[in-house]
Structure formats: structure tokens, C-alpha cells
A and B are shown apart, each in its own frame.
Chain A
Amino acid sequence: MDNAALLAEIPRLRRYARALLGNRAAADDLVQDTLERAWARHALWRAGSDLRAWLFSIMHNLRVDQLRRPSAPLHSIDDEDFEVPTRATQNDRLEVRDLESALCQLPDEQREVLLLVALEDLGYAEIASTLGIPVGTVMSRLARGRERLRLLMEGRPHGANLRIVR
């Protein structure tokens, strides 16, 4: 495993973890765990295969482990006082905040797929192998996640297809 190549992946891992967890400290802890596990298992990485995809799958598996453990500190994802990523103060601030909190309200598995598609531009098949699920599951999580996020952003609670009467 090439140190420089690994170093180059860190910003992307941090971005994805931040988006996934909505909390800077927890995200960096997750990245740290990911890198440590990557080194511990680097003999398993086949040279020439996609380093990024491998790292994301390690991160995913760690996350699954952490969520399974009820006492894991990372479970506090619906904490309301998470840190908002630094960003130029613009008048879309409120909207940004909305998008972030809406994102946090998605089920983990939907958020994961949504973010891998939006941030990493990974293909559906790559996401499927990264997460260890069938492509069909990727597609249905993506569809459900997008729809739910849309409804949340429009101020409609939950996934139910409520019709708004004005």
C-alpha cells in the first residue's frame, strides 16, 4: 500500500465520514479507525485494485460494527448540536442547515448510499460491492433515500405520501 496514495484518500474519507455522521470529531475518529484497520489488513489489499473503494468498504464495515454495539459513542448521530462544516456565510445558510438536518434524519443505510452516489460519484455496482449488498438494494435505498430527503426538505414529515392541501 502506497503511503502517498493513502494520504491522498484522506480528504475524501473525511468528507464522506463528516457527511455520514454530521459531526466533525466523530467523523475524524472514524477515519482514524479506518486507516488503522487498513494498515492492520493491508496484506489483504490486492495491489492494483481500487484503494478508495477498499477504504470505503473498511469504513462501512467499521460503522456497521459500531452501530451494532449499543454503547458506541458514534450512536449519538441525532444530536442536534453537531458542528456545521465551515462554509462561507451566505444567505442560503438556513437551507444548508436544513439539508444537513434532513440528511441526519434519513436511515443510515439510505444516507450511506445517497452520499456515496452524490459525493464519490461511485457507480451503482461499485457501491454494491463496497457495501456488500446487491445492486437492486442499492437502487431501492437510493430511490427511497432521495424521496425521503426531498419530502423532508419540502417540510413534509416522513416518507408517507401526504398530499398537501393548500
Chain B
Amino acid sequence: MNKLAISEDDLQAWVDGVLSETRNGEVEEYLAANPEEAERVRAYQAQKQALKALFEPVLDEAVPQRLQALAQPPVAVDAKKRPIFERWSLQRIAAGLLVAMVSGAAGWFGHAQHQAAERQAQVMPLPRQAAVAHVVFSPDVRRPVEVSAAQEDQLVAWLSKRLGTPVRPPKLGAIGYELIGGRLLPGNSGPVAQFMYHDTSGQRLTLYVTTENATNRDTGFRFAKEGPVNVFYWIDGQFGYALSAGIDKSELARVATAVYDQLEHK
């Protein structure tokens, strides 16, 4: 026995590839000299890979609805159920603290306001909402929209009626994007509209229009990146607009400017 004796723990760690380089070399020397042991640990290695392969497909299964729903905070978990001070005493990151403060405050102010605060705490920011809607619908080959551009009049009438205010898809033909159609979606507190466009290469772009922004002030252009999706968004009175696509920022900015100009001069 030369260096440190090779232990069973070393062999297990060798299987998992977590040994230091030196130790790994020592274990391999040992295995070379002990073919039976080598056979045993190689069987463990194969076993590990087989287990991985066996259960890998579960990762690709669609997550059942009931589990997906649980990624959202359940209604029962709210500030009213727990003492406010418990929340205060815990260290939280800034965002968590804000939620705690909002819902903590709600505890003081009674039921109606509490509900409002809870809603607020769960609101998804505009660019994220838009990006999610973009990635959900834009890859859809057969039904990317509910009402196609061929019935643009109906689309406009319907969405305007549901949003309670006139909405109209901007015309982007001049900059190379053609309207495919649109759909109605649930927003944070009511209906929102999504218009979809594509260019000649089939690159899709969506414009997300909300009328839920009563409390927000106007903003200039803002840019957000949600994974592979770039989003330009801005707020204009009650309207929130978000333009999303998997194209680069400068090209998207060009389109956003065109959209903005048309909406301004409507």
C-alpha cells in the first residue's frame, strides 16, 4: 500500500467524478491493479447512466395543470393568516420585502383593500406578460391567431368591444411586416389584445396591448429581455404597449418606432 489507502468512499466519488485530479489518478491506478473492483465500480457508473436515461423522459412531459397552478401562491397563503411581525422579522430580498409590506399594510386596512394589494402583489410586469404571450402563440403554426387579418374589420370591432376602447393594429407593411391577425388574452385584471405580424422570412412579432394601466404614468420606450425574446414597451395613458420578437434589439427598435408613430397620430 503506497499512498493513502483507497476507501469505499473514494470509489463512490470516483463513480461520480468528484475526486481531485491527484486522487482520481490514484484510484485509477488502484483499479488497474484490481480488475474485480474495477468491474464493480464500472457497473455503478453504468447504473447511474441507466437511471438517468430511464427517468430523463419525465422532464419532457407536460406538467399537469394542477401542479402548474401551484407555482402561483395559493389564495390561502396571505398576510391575513400569519402575523405581520413574523414577516417583518425575516430577512427578505428587496422584492420580497415590498410584497410583505404591501400585504402587511393590507392587513391593517381591512378586507377590500387587502384584496387589491394581493392582486397587486401578483401582477406580472408588462414586458413579461407580453413575452410569455409571445412565446406561447407565435410558434403556433396552425392557429397563431384567433381572428385572421382577412377579417380585420371584425377583429378590430371585436377587440375594441372587449377592451372597452378602440384598438386598431398599426400597419407595418411599409417596414416589411404584415398583419397575421390577433387574439384576446387574459391580462392581470381583464382582457388584453395581441396582434401578430410576420415578415417575408416568417419571423413573427407580436404587439401586446393592455388598457389596464390606469395607475401608471406615461413612459418612454423601455427595453426588456425575457430569455430569447426582446421586448420594447411603453405606456401611454391607459394603454400599455409591448412589442415582442426574437429579433435583435435594433431591428425591434425600428419597428417599435414605427408602431409608436402610428399610434401617436391615430
Contact = CB atoms under 8 A, between A and B. Distances in A.
Interface of A: 1, 3-4, 6-7, 10-12, 14-15, 18-19, 28, 31-32, 35-36, 39-40, 42-44, 46-48, 85-87, 95-96, 99-100, 103, 114-115, 117-119, 123-124, 139, 142-143, 146-147, 149-150, 153
B92 interface: yes
Contacts of B55: 15, 18-19, 85, 119
Contact of B48 (A32, A103, A118, A139): A118
Given A6-B71, A36-B74, A139-B9, A47 B51 contact: no
A98 to B, nearest CB: 10
Contacts of A6: 71
8 contacts: A1-B73, A3-B73, A28-B64, A36-B74, A39-B70, A119-B55, A124-B18, A146-B12
Nearest to B74: A39
Given A6-B71, A7-B71, A85 B48 contact: no
A137 to B, nearest CB: 12
Interface string B80-100: 001000110011110010000
Interface stretch (B39-47, B179-187, B245-253): B39-47
A14 B67 contact: yes
Interface of A is mostly: helix
A115 B51 contact: yes
B61 to A, nearest CB: 7
A86 B58 CA distance: 8
B66 interface: yes
B54 A43 contact: no
Interface in B51-73: 51-52, 54-61, 63-64, 66-68, 70-73
Chain B interface: which size bin?
Answer: 35 or more
B63 A47 contact: no
A116 to B, nearest CB: 11
Contact of A3 (B64, B71, B77, B92): B71
Given A10-B71, A99-B50, A40 B63 contact: no
The 9 closest A-B pairs by CB, nearest first: A7-B71, A35-B70, A15-B58, A47-B93, A118-B51, A118-B48, A11-B59, A146-B44, A19-B55
Contacts of B51: 19, 99, 103, 114-115, 118-119
Most buried by B among A35, A118, A143: A118
Contacts of B146: none
Interface of B: 8-9, 11-13, 15-16, 18, 40, 43-44, 47-48, 50-52, 54-61, 63-64, 66-68, 70-74, 77, 82, 86-87, 90-93, 96
A123 B12 contact: no
Contacts of B93: 47-48
A71 B74 CA distance: 28
Given A12-B59, A43-B90, A85-B55, 10 more contacts: A1-B73, A10-B68, A15-B55, A28-B66, A35-B71, A42-B77, A47-B92, A124-B13, A142-B12, A150-B40
Given A43-B87, A87-B57, A149-B47, A143 B12 contact: yes
A40 B82 CA distance: 10
Contact of A118 (B13, B52, B66, B74): B52
B66 A32 contact: yes
Contacts of B43: 150, 153
Contact of B54 (A3, A10, A44, A96): A96
Contact of B67 (A31, A47, A86, A96): A31
B35 to A, nearest CB: 16
Contacts of A19: 51, 54-55, 58
